[in-house]
Amino acid sequence: MSSRQPSVLMVAANWWPLAARLAIALLQNGCRVSAVCPVGHFLTYVSGIDQVHHYARIFSLASLRRALIETTPDVIVPCDDGVVTQLHVLHRHEPSLRDLIERSLGPSQSYPIVSSRHGLLSTAMELGIRVPRTCRVERAEDLVTWHRDVATVGILKVDGESGGKGVRISPSLDESLAAWQELRVGCGSAAAWKRLEIDRDPLALWMSKNQAEREVAVQAFITGRPANSMLACRGGEVLAMVSVAVVASDSPTGAATIIRRIKNDQMTNAAELLARRLQLTGFYGLDFMIESGTETPFLIEMNPRCTQLGHLEWTDQCSLAGIFSTALRGEPRPQPLHPIRAETIVLFPQARAAAATYSAYIEKSYHDVPWDEPRLVRELTLAPWPQRRWLARLYHTLRPMPRSEPTIFESLGPT
């Protein structure tokens, strides 16, 4: 990039804190940051952001297109899967935006692969990366064959969802068939309006109208513990990556709440092979299961967007946001500003909901709180803004939100 201060447009539709945390790190490392997000989103509480464009709730794609044209950023950083889907659509239909989108995500030839769980894992297998056995589910007979000939347990996953929403663990054929019927049709109009009005998801109606029957895959269950990697890439090269073991998560298939940094050659190799094959640019996440007994990491999926590791700094490595920023400027990678020295990290505010469950871990871990942003900290201690609205409170009084089960994957180490 010719600019000494690269301009980054962050686009977030989900109410996750990771977008705000990455924005802070990009700002600290010399980027100009603008945002596209819903009204009241965590990004609006980050000081120093140039412009905030609000995601229109009805015409979300048009509002994203307008923000891209008005902002003219150097790169776009998508913060959830639905945003990536919309960027792929804009690439197809808006020739004037193609260069920007490819500069942000990589070449369009890779889009069908990164958008398909089955396609991504098939590519990984071709590269020699260990993956669980995975089959596309196109009809009920595919599940009958799976449970009869492959395994009694299946993990069903649908494209286009994230945060564990599109995953079902099915220990029987009947449960797999029910999960397949639920996942493949997506949400109907009533569910889409609920996601729009109650959850304040600006992509709800667009996704409901623009996604046909969704691709579902069934995957073998790997007994072990989850691990994640986040990559900063440019032109197919992994500039840097961070890998962590998940110490605890908000549910068996949900987001990590407590993590421990690890270094694993097989995970690094998988990242480099995929980045090179798909010519990835931007931030990506890889999810693994580390098999009990063998300690072999199995790649289970890729997130074609940033994850919640991009702002963390270590004694031997700056944050991925910092490394990506200096790469945009053509400068050497920076030194870490505030390195973390603790072995385990409690992610804020993700772990607050299960503080009683995690109390012994919390006492011994580093608390990842953005103290330099007091307005954001105050907002993160509250329920997300959509849940605080009177309509949502009334709705969830009548239909309580499902309770997730906090899950601990690693025992507490010695004191």
Kindly write down the DSSP assignment for every residue of 238-259, as one continuous string. EEEEEEEEEEEESSTTS-EEEE
Instruction: Say yes or no to pLDDT of 1 above 60.
Output: no
Are 311 and 24 spatial neighbours (Cβ–Cβ below 8 Å)?
A: yes
Model pLDDT, residue 163? 58
Confidence at 164, pLDDT banded by 50, 70, 90? low
Instruction: Say yes or no to pLDDT of 415 above 60.
Output: no
Rounded average pLDDT over 340-355: 87
Model pLDDT, residue 126? 96
Phi, psi of 376 (to 5 degrees): -65, -40
Q: In this structure, what DSSP letter does residue 109 have?
A: G
CATH T-level topology, domain 133-219: Dna Ligase; domain 1 (3.30.1490)
Instruction: Say yes or no to pLDDT of 276 above 90.
Output: yes
In the block, tokens 């729009």 appear at: 196
Cα distance between residue 20 and residue 79, in whole Å? 10
Confidence at 2, pLDDT banded by 50, 70, 90? very low
Cα distance between residue 40 and residue 44, in whole Å? 6
Q: Where are the domains of the chain?
A: 7-107, 133-219, 224-408
Closest among 171, 204, 213, 236 to 58, alpha carbons compared: 204
Model pLDDT, residue 61? 96
Highest mean pLDDT among 68-72, 134-138, 154-158, 194-198: 68-72
What's the pLDDT tens digit per position in 92-147? 999 999 999 999 999 999 999 998 888 999 999 999 999 999 988 888 999 999 99
Query: If residue 168 lies in a helix (H) or strand (E), which one and from where to where?
Result: strand 167-170
Residue with more model confidence, 176 or 229: 229
For 15, the 3-state DSSP assignment is: coil
Residue with more model confidence, 415 or 274: 274
Instruction: Say yes or no to pLDDT of 414 above 60.
Output: no
Model pLDDT, residue 356? 73
Cα distance between residue 107 and residue 150, in whole Å? 36
Highest mean pLDDT among 32-36, 139-143, 151-155, 194-198: 32-36
Are 209 and 247 spatial neighbours (Cβ–Cβ below 8 Å)?
A: no
Are 158 and 215 spatial neighbours (Cβ–Cβ below 8 Å)?
A: yes
Strand ordering across the sheet containing 32-37 = 52-54, 32-37, 7-11, 75-78
**What is the token pair recorded at 23?**
């924005």
Cα distance between residue 312 and residue 307, in whole Å? 11
**What is the token pair recorded at 108?**
């369009």
CATH architecture of the domain 224-408 equals: 2-Layer Sandwich (3.30)
Are 255 and 164 spatial neighbours (Cβ–Cβ below 8 Å)?
A: yes
Rounded average pLDDT over 28-37: 97
Residue with more model confidence, 312 or 136: 312
Instruction: Say yes or no to pLDDT of 160 above 70.
Output: no
User: Buried (b) or exposed (e) across 114-139, using 16+ Cβ within 10 A?
Assistant: bbbbbbbbebbeeeebbbbebbebee
What's the pLDDT tens digit per position in 215-274? 888 999 999 999 999 999 999 999 999 999 999 998 888 889 999 999 999 999 999 999
Are 176 and 146 spatial neighbours (Cβ–Cβ below 8 Å)?
A: yes
| Mean of per-residue pLDDT scores for the chain | 91
Phi-psi region of 392 (alpha: psi -120 to 50; beta: other; left: phi over 0): alpha
Instruction: Say yes or no to pLDDT of 413 above 70.
Output: no
Closest among 388, 400, 10, 404 to 199, alpha carbons compared: 388
How many DSSP H helices and E strands does the chain contain?
Answer: 16, 16
Output the CATH code of domain 7-107. Answer: 3.40.50.20
Closest among 275, 290, 279, 266 to 231, alpha carbons compared: 275
